[in-house]
Amino acid sequence: MANDDPSLADRMMDGSATAAQEGLERLIGRLEHLVVGQRGLLERLIVALLAGGHVLIEGVPGLAKTRAVRTLARALDLPFRRIQFTPDLLPADLTGTQIYRPATGTFDVRPGPIVTSVLLADEINRAPAKVQSALLEAMQEGQITVGDETIVLPETFWVLATQNPIEHEGTYPLPEAQLDRFLMKLVVSYPDRAAELAMLELPDVAEASHVESWSGDEPALFSPAQVLAFRKRTESVRVAPAIKEYVVDLVRATRDPAAYGLGLAPLLELGASPRATIALIRAARAHAFLSCRDYVTPHDVKTLARDIMRHRILVSYEADAEGLSSDDILGRILDHIPVP
């Protein structure tokens, strides 16, 4: 698909901060035609895209989680596949299988839907652990194994998984090892009253065919090659030593809160891993890039800290008894750790 403003993408790759902001606003504006009242979700999806990290999106049904992922993939001209996770799903349903050819006496590999650029794992917490293990190799290694053959996934491979809150019937908590592979966990809430009214003005908002017709009428804003170029550009955003120390202190405070003068030890069963430190820096760089800056500020870090760490810490039974969530505990840490 052709870019509807080729000069915009060129200016972004040349390092124009104004063009970066213009591109973000145009992309979000495009998405908001179909995803109303979820601007925060859309912005964070783009941050994760630039940082090259997978995203877990949690919310009750009907909050446009699937629609947001589908429309973003089409706006970026990235190949897209959707898998509905169910309790009877098998690993081969994701990765593919071997087909026996009697004429030659050999097996041919038929790749599964996981071989794509944007994979939407819908209701990921409805599938059993063996399916999650099959997805884990792809998320961690960027490749899958079918029989004795290894298939390298596209460089733009990106997993966006949706899940319903675990208290809903028929769902299972994801393994901690897999949760740690997601750059962000985004919690989607109900839209406000004005946004819900605006949804009623959209034609056939519930029909998938409307998404198809909309994407066919509108050319993609950026090509896959340009997406990779933006990621490369994001890596050059500067992070001052004081910001790095701030990020390390935030993450370490979840593991040893007493060392930072926080009485949160009884509320935390497990703190965030060093992967959270790396993820927070990556995401902060992307957020700064989209904010027309070539350097990270404490605001970038604080804006994304909950999204990066809420799924990487495990609260204790005592915290549950007090009605405290991981976001509540992270809020206390953010309020306590001095900002550079």
Burial 30-40 (b: 16+ CB within 10 A, else e): bbbebbbbbee
The closest alpha carbon to 186, from 28, 306, 272, belongs to: 306
Burial 239-274 (b: 16+ CB within 10 A, else e): beeebeebbebbbbbbbebeebebebeebbeebbbe
CATH superfamily of 236-336: Magnesium chelatase subunit I, C-Terminal domain (1.10.8.80)
The residue extents of the domains of the chain are 6-232, 236-336
Pick from 69-78, 122-131, 154-163 the range whose average pLDDT is largest. Answer: 154-163
For 173-217, the pLDDT digits (tens) are 787 878 888 999 999 888 888 878 887 877 654 444 444 444 445
Say what the pLDDT of residue 17 is: 55
3-state secondary structure of 338: coil
CB neighbour list of residue 147: distance below 8 Å, 6 or more residues apart? 98, 107, 109
Res 239 pLDDT > 90: yes
3-state secondary structure of 102: coil
Give the C-alpha distances (Å, rounded to integers) separating 210 from 33, 34, 206, 259. Answer: 11, 9, 8, 54
d(CA 259, CA 133): 36
Say what the pLDDT of residue 207 is: 47
pLDDT band for position 335 (cuts 50, 70, 90): very high
The domain 6-232: what is its CATH number? 3.40.50.300
Say what the pLDDT of residue 287 is: 93
pTM summary value: 0.86
d(CA 176, CA 2): 41
**CA 207, 213, 219, 225 torsion-angle sign:** positive
270 is written with which tokens?
């497990």
For 7-34, the pLDDT digits (tens) are 555 555 554 556 666 777 788 888 877 7
**CA 245, 248, 254, 255 torsion-angle sign:** negative
Is beta strand 143-146 parallel, antiparallel or unpaired with respect to 149-152?
antiparallel
Say what the pLDDT of residue 126 is: 87
Give 68's Cβ-side CA count (13 Å radius): 28
267 alpha carbon, distance to own chain's centre: 27
State the amino acid at position 134 in one-letter form.
Answer: A
- DSSP H helices in the chain: 6-13, 17-31, 39-51, 65-75, 91-95, 129-141, 176-179, 193-199, 208-217, 224-234, 241-255, 274-290, 298-309, 317-321, 326-336
Supply φ then ψ for residue 180, to 5 degrees.
-65, -20
State the amino acid at position 125 in one-letter form.
Answer: N
For 45-104, the pLDDT digits (tens) are 999 999 999 999 988 777 778 888 888 888 888 889 999 998 888 888 888 887 878 877
3-state secondary structure of 126: helix
Torsion of CA 301, 120, 206, 24, to 10 degrees: 40
Give the C-alpha distances (Å, rounded to integers) separating 151 from 15, 53, 105, 148. Answer: 34, 20, 22, 10
What value does the mean pLDDT of the chain take?
A: 83
d(CA 25, CA 231): 17
The closest alpha carbon to 72, from 40, 18, 121, 35, belongs to: 35
CB atoms within 10 A of CB 98: 15
Say what the pLDDT of residue 305 is: 95
Token look-up 């007090």 returns: 322
